[in-house]
Amino acid sequence: MRKNIIAGNWKMNADAQAASTLIKNLNEADLAEKTEVIIAPSYTNLALANELLSGTSIRLSSQNMHQADKGAFTGEVSAEMLKSVGVSYVILGHSERRAIFNEDAQLLKTKVDQALENELKPIFCIGEELKGRQDGKHFDIVESQLSESLFHLSANAMRNIVIAYEPVWAIGTGETASPEQAQDMHVHIRQFIADKYSVEIADGISILYGGSVKPGNAKDIFAKADVDGGLIGGAALKAEDFTAIINSF
Ligand code: 13P
């Protein structure tokens, strides 16, 4: 059966000192054991995080990855490098990567393949912008995002994907999707995967919600049957808030 997952996407925040303090505070916190906890610090803090998390159950993710094995790609980081510092997940397709760094569906497809070939589990982000929601196109938009970058995968490969539904209008805005909006979309995503693959595959995939999740709204969102956890931005930068979110299942 699918796992409950809470992943913290730190984005471009926390220097080595701040990362170290945050991780030490998380290590001291009482975290619900049934939930898989993942943190995604910046590249520069991954090796440090790996050391500090040694012997704990908190898993490490990167926020991005290059699609090639190695070579003349100044400034980029490969899957193999990530693996060598204990990374097991990689966030791909975040709306900030899509919008600011022009990552398109075709590129994301190659990144998904590269991650899986290197035994990194993609946390694949999808979600509509405000206009898409206002025009009633949100279901169509996520269907395209899923089919263009994931639906070439075999059923077995698909089992290693985590999906994060992050409506762009809810990211960093303080505005969240209502628990009902989240549930409706998650059911839609799961059904779409079931139609392409099988109910068994769809039921095994964790679908996380992301977008202004805070300790005060997490419980209602996670109470929905098809919301299997959260991808947390701002609130993941405070150990107390992140812990409260983890413990709100
Ligand atoms: P916020 O929780 O800050 O809205 O960010 C969500 C997000 O983008 C996580 O990837």
| 199 has a pLDDT exceeding 90 | yes
Are 185 and 225 a contacting pair, CB within 8 Å?
no
- Strands 121-126 and 87-92 come out as parallel
Q: Output the CA 230–ligand 1 centroid distance in Å.
A: 9
Tell me, what's the pLDDT at 63? 98
State how far the alpha carbon of 189 is from the alpha carbons of 61, 116, 142, 174, 178, in Å: 23, 21, 8, 24, 17
Query: Is any atom of ligand 1 closer than 6 Å to the C-beta of 171?
Result: yes
Mean per-residue pLDDT of the chain: 97
Report the C-alpha gap between 142 and 109 in whole angstroms: 15
User: Which of 90, 173, 231 for a ligand 1 pocket mutation test, highest count of atoms within 8 Å of Cβ?
Assistant: 231
Tell me, what's the pLDDT at 175? 82
Which tokens hold the place of 221? 């969102």
CA dihedral of residues 234, 239, 244, 245 (deg, nearest 10): 40
Q: What percent of the chain has pLDDT over 90?
A: 95
Query: Is any atom of ligand 1 closer than 6 Å to the C-beta of 96?
Result: no
Tell me, what's the pLDDT at 173? 87
**Which atom of ligand 1 lies closest to the CA of 164?**
10
The torsion region of residue 93 among left (phi > 0), alpha (psi -120 to 50) and beta comes to left
Tell me, what's the pLDDT at 176? 87
Report the C-alpha gap between 117 and 65 in whole angstroms: 13
Q: How confident is the model at residue 35 (pLDDT cuts 50, 70, 90)?
A: very high
Q: How many C-beta atoms lie closer than 10 Å to residue 179's C-beta?
A: 17
Report the C-alpha gap between 158 and 203 in whole angstroms: 12
Which tokens hold the place of 5? 């997952």
Q: Output the CA 16–ligand 1 centroid distance in Å.
A: 21
Q: Where are the beta strands (DSSP E) in the chain?
A: 4-9, 35-40, 59-62, 87-92, 121-126, 162-165, 207-210, 229-232
Q: How confident is the model at residue 155 (pLDDT cuts 50, 70, 90)?
A: very high
186 is known as an active-site residue: no
Are 20 and 48 a contacting pair, CB within 8 Å?
yes
* Mean per-residue pLDDT, 190-209: 98
What confidence tens digit (pLDDT) does each residue in 164-196 have?
Answer: 999 999 998 888 899 999 999 999 999 999 999
User: Which of 166, 173, 208, 238 for a ligand 1 pocket mutation test, highest count of atoms within 8 Å of Cβ?
Assistant: 166
User: Which of 10, 11, 39, 130 for a ligand 1 pocket mutation test, highest count of atoms within 8 Å of Cβ?
Assistant: 11
Query: Is any atom of ligand 1 closer than 6 Å to the C-beta of 172?
Result: yes
Matching residue, tokens 């539904």: 165
94 is known as an active-site residue: yes
Tell me, what's the pLDDT at 168? 95
Q: How confident is the model at residue 1 (pLDDT cuts 50, 70, 90)?
A: confident
* Mean per-residue pLDDT, 122-147: 97
Which tokens hold the place of 71? 């070579």
* Mean per-residue pLDDT, 28-42: 93
What confidence tens digit (pLDDT) does each residue in 59-96 have?
Answer: 999 999 999 999 999 999 999 999 999 999 999 999 99
Tell me, what's the pLDDT at 33? 84
Q: Output the CA 201–ligand 1 centroid distance in Å.
A: 27
* Mean per-residue pLDDT, 144-155: 98
Residue among 219, 11, 100, 140 at smallest CA distance from 230:
219
Enter the CATH code of domain 4-246: 3.20.20.70
**Which atom of ligand 1 lies closest to the CA of 213?**
2
Choosing from 96, 103, 128, 166, the catalytic residue is: 166
Which tokens hold the place of 247? 């413990």
Choosing from 66, 94, 138, 186, the catalytic residue is: 94
